[in-house]
Chain A
Amino acid sequence: MALNFGYNISKPRVIDIDRNNLRKSVEIIRELPELQACIGCGTCTASCTAGNLTSFNFRKVHTLVRRGEYQGAYEELNKCMLCGKCRLLCPRGINTRGVIMLIKRKLGDF
């Protein structure tokens, strides 16, 4: 029986890297190792043309993909217009457009 205490506990959101299938993630990092240089500053997301119009968040998507959370990543990346602003602003000089195209190519069937 459920007691209503006026609050509840959120479902735990834990990324369990040991249980995730990292094969695609490893392939992606191998092809574009510079993605590991990401410091997660979020400049890409702040400047994003699509992010300005929707909730698209490139930093979140590529971080999740690297952790093996591929669900929905392809659909999310399809919001990107590939305009290239993020690439110009990235303080680590990551080839973000290359990353987007690579992830889409790798995860096209997810």
Chain B
Amino acid sequence: MSFYAPFTLPFIIGTTILFLVLIWKYLSWFFDLPRSDKRLIFKGIPTFATLRSLWEVVRECLLHVRIFKVDKRLGYMHASLAFGWFLLIAMGSLETIAYLGFKMVPLQGHVFFKYFAVANGITEHKAGWDFVMDFLLAVVLSGLLMAWFKRLHSRSVGMRRTTRHVLGDRVALSFLWFIFPLRLVAESITVELYGGGSFLTASFGNLLDLIFGHTLLSYAYEPAWWCYSIALCGFFVAMPFSRYMHIFTEVPLIFLRNYGLRATSRKKSYDNFEVQACSRCGVCIDPCQLQSVLNIDSVQSVYFVRDRRYNMLTQQVAQNCLMCGRCADKCPVGVNLLTLRQNSRDAMRNIPAERRYDYFKGLDRSEGAGRVGYFAGCMTLLTPRTMTAMEQIFEAVNEQVWWADRNGGVCCGRPLKLSGETDSARKMMRYNTELFRKHNIRTLVTSCPICLKVFKEDYDLEGIEVLHHSEYIERLLRNGRLTLEKGVTNYTYHDPCELGRGGGIYEAPRTVIEAVGALVEAEHNRRDSLCCGSSLANTVINDASQLRLASALTEELERTGADSIVTACPLCKKALSRTAKERVYDLAEIVAEHITK
């Protein structure tokens, strides 16, 4: 039996190029990994992480559960194309086994089985297999139709906007779109001329015969298979250089992630896996407030990752982001978009200056003494009501407090880190850590989620428990150290990005609010909450834009009909106060107002 025909040549060449490029890319990325990352991989292989990864590969690379969670229609569109194609390949192989028994058949023998069955004189037709293959092809084609329609009208699959693609992606996309219709044509002609087929290919073959006539079809027989093979070749060659690199890259990414590899504030080889696993699906565009409120549509994560991958990242794109994390939360591949952006900024901006911040030496403006330290942070120093309220709370529970920066102190370092000056930020982190150690505190309370995040993630504060003031107050209430008088006010709560998505603290502030009044949830809450627009991560948008973002948020909060807006971040409070009709409260303020004497 022969499984070679000239038309298979493009397919064979395409597949060879594809796998050579893939192997080259993965191996070079792997060898460039820092030694600690390699050690994590080797340690992880014999553990359950491998099994967990396999299961995740089935869920995410084949079934795409997370896309279904974004939108069911979008999920079907993608799964019908991707999982459908996978099944076509898998079932195609089983079909060959069903016809020929277990024997070595080269790859093209599986892919072009209908052609080779005829060429090798197999006249028997298994109706069941014909039906299965026709059904799968129909499923894939239905996904393709949806994909076409999505380009015209993205709302039909639940997306307000879809990605604007670069030329390379459009080429790959066109080849992909041609593959299945061409397969349908080639198989239908074969079926019409030599029998077999099921509801799809047989009827489509009949139709072709009616329109073009038998002679023309027999002339078109070989060219049709040629076209199909060329489309496959084009797609395979374009794949590793286009967005379709995600098809294979998500697999190693899932394994590496489960072995504990993470992107860090410095660029490293692991980032390649994350960057090239991005499918540029554009799910990150809709949640972005820069897009929905300000109509900026060139800086979203999808464009950032694309620009970074093709080395055309500009300051404008890298810096223009609120880093609110709404996109990263929705990303179906789970790419760590915020860290990638932050380490891009680091690569663009980090200029180590040896003598920078020499003035920290010997600086200590703290006052008081106690096991509990309170770090107000720059922003809380701008909202003194929050600090006074905290003072009242500390007094009410007789806490001995060490005030780290009431008379001015050094910033936590997060703003500098977010803007990419990682080395300088480390100097602040080192200074503050030494300060905390020197005063021997056991608990560190901060009312600023920005500081909280950096304390938890970048500081080495072993032995010191870091708490946000919402957690601290909730603990006081739980222990019965603090009792509050429940009022009749309705509050609505705004989840600060750094506290909610950034720190995973959603319930503590809500428990506290419910202890002093009633809580009314806004439309976007918890994981889905909006950004106030004043984020320290963005140094590009101007004041008017910040104001528009803030007013979009306050409008939503005021629509709840609540009496007052409460938040747990001094920066959000400042931002919201600018556009809110009523006074905006920090959590500590409403607590201090309701302390029972």
Q: Chain A: residues with CB nearer than 8 A to chain B? A: 34, 47, 49, 52-54, 78-79, 81-85, 88-90, 93-95, 97-98, 101, 105, 108
Q: How far is the CA of A53 from the CA of B542 in the complex (A)?
A: 28
Q: Per a CB cutoff under 8 Å, which of A34, A78, A85, A105 touches B542?
A: A34
A34-B542, A95-B542 known; A53+B415 contact, CB < 8 A: no
- The 0/1 profile, CB within 8 Å of A marked 1, for residues 438-477 of chain B is 0000000000000000000000000000000000000000
Residues of B within 8 A of A88 (CB): 379, 382, 534, 571, 574-575
Residues of A within 8 A of B540 (CB): 95, 98
Residues of B within 8 A of A82 (CB): 411, 415-416, 419, 421, 536
Q: Per a CB cutoff under 8 Å, which of A53, A79, A101 touches B363?
A: A53
Is A53 within 8 A of B353, CB to CB? no
Q: How far is the CA of A84 from the CA of B569 in the complex (A)?
A: 14
Q: Per a CB cutoff under 8 Å, which of A34, A83, A94 touches B415?
A: A83
Q: Can you report 23 A-B residue pairs in the complex whose CB atoms are below 8 A from each other?
A: A47-B382, A49-B381, A49-B409, A49-B411, A53-B359, A53-B410, A78-B357, A79-B356, A81-B416, A82-B411, A82-B419, A82-B536, A83-B379, A84-B378, A85-B378, A85-B382, A88-B382, A88-B534, A88-B571, A88-B575, A97-B539, A98-B540, A105-B349
Q: Per a CB cutoff under 8 Å, which of A54, A85, A98, A105 touches B359?
A: A54
- Asked if B210 is at the interface of the complex by the 8 Å CB criterion, the answer is no
Residues of B within 8 A of A90 (CB): 543
In B390-447, which residues have CB < 8 Å from any A CB?
A: 408-411, 413, 415-416, 419, 421, 424, 428
Residues of B within 8 A of A93 (CB): 542-544, 547
Is B410 within 8 A of A81, CB to CB? yes
User: Which of A49, A54, A79, A89 gathers the greatest number of chain B CB atoms within 10 Å?
Assistant: A49
Q: How far is the CA of A90 from the CA of B534 in the complex (A)?
A: 13
Q: How far is the CA of A101 from the CA of B357 in the complex (A)?
A: 16
> Total interface residues on B, using CB and 8 Å?
35
A89-B382, A93-B544 known; A81+B534 contact, CB < 8 A: no
Residue of chain A at shortest CB distance from B570: A88
Chain B nearest Cβ from A56, distance in angstroms: 9
Q: Per a CB cutoff under 8 Å, which of B351, B353, B428, B547 touches A81?
A: B428
User: Which of A34, A53, A89 gathers the greatest number of chain B CB atoms within 10 Å?
Assistant: A53
Residues of B within 8 A of A81 (CB): 378, 410-411, 413, 415-416, 428
Q: Per a CB cutoff under 8 Å, which of A34, A49, A84, A98 touches B408?
A: A49
In B162-192, which residues have CB < 8 Å from any A CB?
A: none
Residues of A within 8 A of B381 (CB): 49, 85
Residue of chain A at shortest CB distance from B405: A49
Q: How far is the CA of A49 from the CA of B415 in the complex (A)?
A: 13
Is B539 within 8 A of A95, CB to CB? yes
Chain A nearest Cβ from B396, distance in angstroms: 29
In B266-321, which residues have CB < 8 Å from any A CB?
A: 319
Q: Per a CB cutoff under 8 Å, which of B363, B411, B547 touches A83?
A: B411
Residues of A within 8 A of B382 (CB): 47, 85, 88-89
Q: How far is the CA of A94 from the CA of B542 in the complex (A)?
A: 7
Is B408 within 8 A of A53, CB to CB? yes
Chain B nearest Cβ from A44, distance in angstroms: 12
Known: A34-B543, A88-B574, A95-B542. 9 other contacts (CB 8 A): A53-B408, A53-B410, A54-B359, A78-B357, A81-B378, A81-B416, A81-B428, A93-B543, A97-B536
Q: How far is the CA of A64 from the CA of B423 in the complex (A)?
A: 28
Residue of chain A at shortest CB distance from B407: A52
Residue of chain B at shortest CB distance from A104: B351
Q: How far is the CA of A78 from the CA of B359 in the complex (A)?
A: 11
Is A108 within 8 A of B351, CB to CB? yes
Residues of A within 8 A of B544 (CB): 93
Q: How far is the CA of A100 from the CA of B323 in the complex (A)?
A: 20
Is B357 within 8 A of A79, CB to CB? yes
Residues of B within 8 A of A97 (CB): 415, 419, 536, 539
Is A78 within 8 A of B356, CB to CB? yes
